[in-house]
A and B are shown apart, each in its own frame.
Chain A
Amino acid sequence: MSIQGIQIENLSKRFGEGDTAVFALKDVNMQVAPGEVVGLIGPSGSGKSTLLKCLGAVIDPTAGRMVLDQQVIYDEGWKVGDLSALRRDKIGFVFQSPYLIPFLDATDNVALLPMLAGVPNEEARRRALELLTALDVQHRAKAMPSQLSGGEQQRIAIARGLVNQPPVILADEPTAPLDSVRALAVVRILNDMAKRFNTAVIVVTHDEKIIPTFKRIYHIRDGVTHEEVGEGRLPT
């Protein structure tokens, strides 16, 4: 069996027990191939964040199976041992707010991840700088987060998500605070990076401006997903 990218089968998540139990995810199926960017949209309380948390190995699903880059992560209650290392090496996160570490400069915010994985400082910084260059923020490499604009911060956060070259990137409303020009720029970056590093990208969004850019969209409602073909229009 060789599953590239990320795949989940019949993933379910229940919060609580008995009468008060909430079924946040019900038999969700999803597959995202390397180099692909898919959208995940749904109304408030539909289960988007819960799904993202399961995909990000931050909370454990109640049932179902998840395979990430040919490695089984969850299988009907079983899970891999070291989820912390898995997140570090296999999953890139991009959040609604950049959440940069305020006491590290732009380069080290990005280089921190490879450093945590044991990569020597110089090599980690070289990789970080390479990404900052690709994202066109290399001129801010030595700036502290408080000295950066919102868009610059978000690009650095994307660089951090990419730096360990994870097979999957999970983006949680990455464009919410940005205007439409900037929002589309971020989506373009995510698309470019997905192709360049052969990464599967899942973007949770409410943002009408970027929904038309996805080729494939998962709609989620009351914990149930269904797949839809998107417009796939990425303005240049």
Chain B
Amino acid sequence: MISLAGRDILHAWGKFIFTGVGLGLLIGVTLIMAGVYRGMVDDGKVLLDNSGADLWVVQQATLGPYAEPSSVPDDIWRSLLTQPGVAEAANITYLTMQIERGEDDVRAMVVGIAPGGAGTLGWPRYLVAGRQITRGHYEAVADLASGFQLGDYLTIRRNQYKVVGLTRRMVSASGDPMIFIPLKGAQEAQFLKDKDAILMQRRRTEANPALNRPNLPGLLEAVLASQTTNPSVNAVLVRIKPEYLPQAVAEPIERWQRFTVYDREQMEGILIGKLIATSARQISMFLVILAIVCAAIVAFIIYTLTMDKIREIAVLKLIGTRNRTLVWMILQQALVLGAIGFVVGKITATFAAPIFPKYVLLLPIDSIIGFVAIQLICTLASVVAIRMALKVDPAEVIG
């Protein structure tokens, strides 16, 4: 037996290719949407991996430091070191801001990293070019995605930093490239008030008789000094000793030091379950709409292709073709259309993904799901055409 569907497709190949390509572009968009979601999840995981932390110590009852603002004193890391099971603890700040780059500016997450060296918690794990920060001040390591190059200067608040190293795939949960600078500068950038605000506050403090007491020399100076220092960070990253369980280390810190502590799993839950949950819902809405559009296109084209063949179908029925042969013919055409669309879509997605500003992660499993889904959609979409073909009365050919 020859393949009726195959012969018909070869005969009307132009229609099939054009519809297939159109469908394919839609499927490409669908695959990229899925890839954008996967990319966001992956960005979150990479963010957590790169920090190197087992525990995040954040302000009590906040979801910090990535999902909510959090501030903790910058000296508690020392006392955390005395807790059982804590191997390492390091301050960290995160601040997402616009950073000037030449004529325009780039959105980046500025990470303030504690003094130390490569391998310290929060430091970039590996560089693709240059070196790590060596001096306490005015050096930065930037992610490639920021567009900065070695030797570039960037300005954060009042300070200028020279880019000495470059990273790859170091991004925030929302995909903004990271820029690592020494903690001190980052603290200033986040907590330091501007000059005018300091002056205003100084005047108010001087005018306050409770703080400006002539009989207590030095009090005013001490108050002013405490007002302008920046004793906060967003979180303390903790690495635990290998023989300890994260929860066992976290529990006493929460109880005695009055902080909230998240382990890796909880942090991932916050990033994926809360931070990108809305985006994920948004994307799934798009996926649903795209699926409906694909189904409509396939249904329409299979319907018209079948409509064009209605007389041939009647003749085929009259000369003794079984209904299941005709159903299979129509179904096969829908499946072939889906397959062409999938191949075109897959190619489109693969070539288009790197052009997107955010990380697009195309997982093989998504392709498989996509393929199965599109074949299911095509099967459903051919139902209308199949019903019509089954209704054709072979008697119409006579008379």
Interface residues of A (CB under 8 A from B): 48-50, 52-53, 56, 58-59, 84-89, 93, 95, 99, 101-104, 108, 111-113, 115-118, 121, 144, 160, 172
Contacts and interface: CB of A to CB of B under 8 A. Distances in A.
B322 A84 contact: yes
10 contacts: A85-B320, A93-B397, A95-B315, A95-B398, A99-B312, A104-B7, A116-B319, A116-B320, A116-B321, A144-B11
Contacts of B4: 103
Give chain B's interface secondary structure class: helix
Interface string B355-376: 0000000000000000000000
B391 to A, nearest CB: 15
B397 A95 contact: yes
A48 B7 contact: no
A164 B322 CA distance: 16
A160 B318 contact: no
Contacts of A52: 398-399
Contacts of A93: 318-319, 397-398
A144 B323 CA distance: 25
User: Which of B4, B10, B12: most chain A Cβ within 10 A?
Assistant: B4
A89 B322 CA distance: 13
- In the complex, the 8 A-B pairs of residues with the closest C-beta atoms, listed nearest first: A88-B320, A49-B399, A103-B11, A87-B320, A58-B395, A103-B8, A99-B315, A103-B7
A87 B319 CA distance: 6
A115 B315 contact: no
Contacts of A112: 2, 319
A126 to B, nearest CB: 15
Interface of B: 1-2, 4, 7-8, 10-12, 311-312, 315-323, 325, 394-395, 397-399
A117 B398 CA distance: 22
A105 to B, nearest CB: 9
A89 to B, nearest CB: 7
Given A58-B394, A99-B315, A103-B7, A172 B399 contact: yes
A177 to B, nearest CB: 15
Nearest to B5: A103
A94 to B, nearest CB: 11
A160 B7 contact: no
A35 B399 CA distance: 25
B318 to A, nearest CB: 6
B2 A101 contact: no
Contacts of B320: 84-89, 113, 116-117
A115 B2 contact: yes
Contacts of A50: 399
Contact of B2 (A85, A99, A117, A121): A121
Nearest to A103: B11
B398 A49 contact: yes
B315 A101 contact: yes
B316 A53 contact: no
Contacts of B325: 116
Contacts of A108: 2, 7
Nearest to A58: B395
Nearest to B1: A115
B1 A160 contact: no
Given A101-B315, A102-B312, A48 B399 contact: yes
Nearest to A144: B11
B2 A56 contact: no
Contacts of B11: 102-103, 144
Nearest to B312: A101
A111 B311 CA distance: 19
Contacts of A144: 11
Contacts of B319: 87-88, 93, 112-113, 116, 160
Given A102-B11, A113-B320, 6 more contacts: A59-B395, A84-B321, A88-B319, A88-B320, A101-B316, A116-B322
Given A87-B318, A116-B320, A99 B397 contact: yes
A56 B8 contact: no
B170 to A, nearest CB: 57
A118 B2 CA distance: 11
Given A99-B312, A101-B315, A102-B312, A121 B7 contact: no
Nearest to A83: B320
User: Which of B320, B321, B325: most chain A Cβ within 10 A?
Assistant: B320
Contact of A56 (B12, B312, B318, B322): B318
A117 B399 CA distance: 26
A106 to B, nearest CB: 13
User: Which of A56, A58, A86: most chain B Cβ within 10 A?
Assistant: A58
A210 to B, nearest CB: 18
Nearest to B394: A58
A80 to B, nearest CB: 13
Contacts of A118: 1
A172 B398 contact: yes
A208 to B, nearest CB: 20
Contacts of B394: 58
A99 B311 contact: yes
